[in-house]
Each structure stands twice: as C-alpha cells, then as structure tokens.
Amino acid sequence: MTMSPTYTLTLGPLTRQLPIMPISPKLAIASFVLLGDTELTDYAASALAQKMPADFDYLITMESKGIPLAQELSRLTNRAQFVVLRKSQKDYMRDPLSVPVNAITTSAPQRLFLDGLDAQSLAHKRVVIVDDVISSGGSLNAARVLVQQAGATVVGQVAILAEGAAAQRTDIQFLAELPLFPL
Ligand SMILES: Nc1ncnc2[nH]cnc12
C-alpha cells in the first residue's frame, strides 16, 4: 500500500497524523476519523465540556462519528440521555421527521432522520448540537432544521474541528482548525 501524505493535528497534549485523501478531482481533506480513538474522544469531550452553554437540556448529534463524542460529553455534563440523528430510516422509528443533507465527504444525496419519540422529548427543550467536524455546515444546518421542527431551541453548536471556511464562523465553538487541501 502506498502511503498518503499526512497532516499533523495537535489537540492539547495529543497529536495525530491525518492522511490527506482526495475527495474530488479538485479537493483533498485531512481525514479525521474519531471512531475507535478513545483517547482523543475523551480529551476532546473534556475540552468541549468547558465550552458548553451553562443551561441546556439535550445534546444532539449526527450519525455516526459524533456518537462517541456526544456520549462522553453527555456523561461529563451529567445528562442522562442524548439524541442521535440517523442517516437512514429504521423500521422501529415512529413518525420520523427527515430533511435532506449535503455532506462534503459523501457524494450521494443523503437524508437525516429524527425519530418521532425523540422529537417529542425535544419539544420546548434547549439543545446543543455536537459533531466531530463542521465543514460546509450541511449536516449542522440539517440538524438545526430537525431541532426546530421538533419545537426545540438550539442554544449551542460545538465540534472538535472547524474545517476550511468554518474556522471563521463565530456561531460555533470548536477546539482546532483543519485546513482543506485544494488540488
Ligand atoms: N476532514 C474530515 N475528515 C473526516 N470527516 C469529515 N467530514 C468533513 N470533513 C471531514
């Protein structure tokens, strides 16, 4: 296997070599895969716990790479439950809400689904959206729409990394920037 070039990510005391992978003829990304990295997940959750709004009811995240982060953040902030927006409709969902989403790493159009039971729990609640990387903001926007459709209010948006132009956003809290790599 030929080795791809890497980008060195530094997060507090931790460093990771992220492989730089083309995702289109014109663009490569430094691939940040949180799944399986317990050490990084735990560090990022404790750092993000310091950046959370004081008053919120629920964390909400998007399948799949945000899930371990949201779980640890939920534990650290003493929230007994968090909500996962899914990328497919499951047979066990009741009256799911769904919206289209465009993500930088997935070429095919996708949808994001909120189980109707979760939607009921969220009604009139204060919600923080958490994700591993915010890039184009496509999945964040889709999550916001679902949260609003459920009758909840978004009181915070947090991520480990802000990629490309997202690093200039003032409406998100994040720990580090991640560059994009034009080809
Ligand atoms: N750099 C990246 N690595 C992994 N997933 C991503 N989603 C958006 N940007 C990403």
74-127 pLDDT, tens digit per residue, is 999 999 999 999 999 999 999 999 999 977 777 788 899 999 999 999 999 999
Number of domains making up the chain: 1
By mean pLDDT, which of 24-28, 55-59, 106-110, 177-181 is the weakest? Answer: 106-110
How many Cβ atoms sit within 10 Å of the Cβ of residue 13? 7
Residue 99 belongs to some domain of the structure: yes
**Identity of the amino acid at 182:** P
108 CA distance to ligand 1 middle (Å): 16
Residue 1 belongs to some domain of the structure: no
Residue 83 belongs to some domain of the structure: yes
Residue 18 belongs to some domain of the structure: yes
pLDDT recorded at residue 98: 96
2 CA distance to ligand 1 middle (Å): 21
Q: Please tell me the pTM assigned to this model.
A: 0.96
7 CA distance to ligand 1 middle (Å): 13
Residue 113 belongs to some domain of the structure: yes
Nearest CA to ligand 1 atom 5: 32
Here the CATH number for the domain that contains residue 106 is: 3.40.50.2020
Residue 56 belongs to some domain of the structure: yes
Rounded CA separation 95/84 (Å): 15
Pair of tokens at residue 3: 């080795």
Q: Which of 27, 40, 132, 141 for mutating ligand 1's site (highest number of atoms within 8 Å of CB)?
A: 132
In the chain, the percentage of residues whose pLDDT exceeds 70 is 100
Ligand 1, CB cutoff 6 Å, lining residues:
29-32, 104-105, 133, 135, 163, 178
Rounded CA separation 109/68 (Å): 25
120 CA distance to ligand 1 middle (Å): 31
Residue 30 belongs to some domain of the structure: yes
Residue 51 belongs to some domain of the structure: yes
**Identity of the amino acid at 45:** A
Look up tokens 């004081």; give the residue.
54
Q: Please, is 48 exposed, middle or buried when counting C-beta atoms within 10 Å of its C-beta (0-12, 13-18, 19+)?
A: buried
Domain range spanning residue 56? 6-182
Report CA-CA distances (Å) from 113 to 42, 46, 103: 27, 28, 15
- Show Cβ contacts of residue 164 under 8 Å, excluding neighbours closer than 6 positions: 135, 136, 178, 179, 180
Q: Which of 6, 31, 172, 178 for mutating ligand 1's site (highest number of atoms within 8 Å of CB)?
A: 31
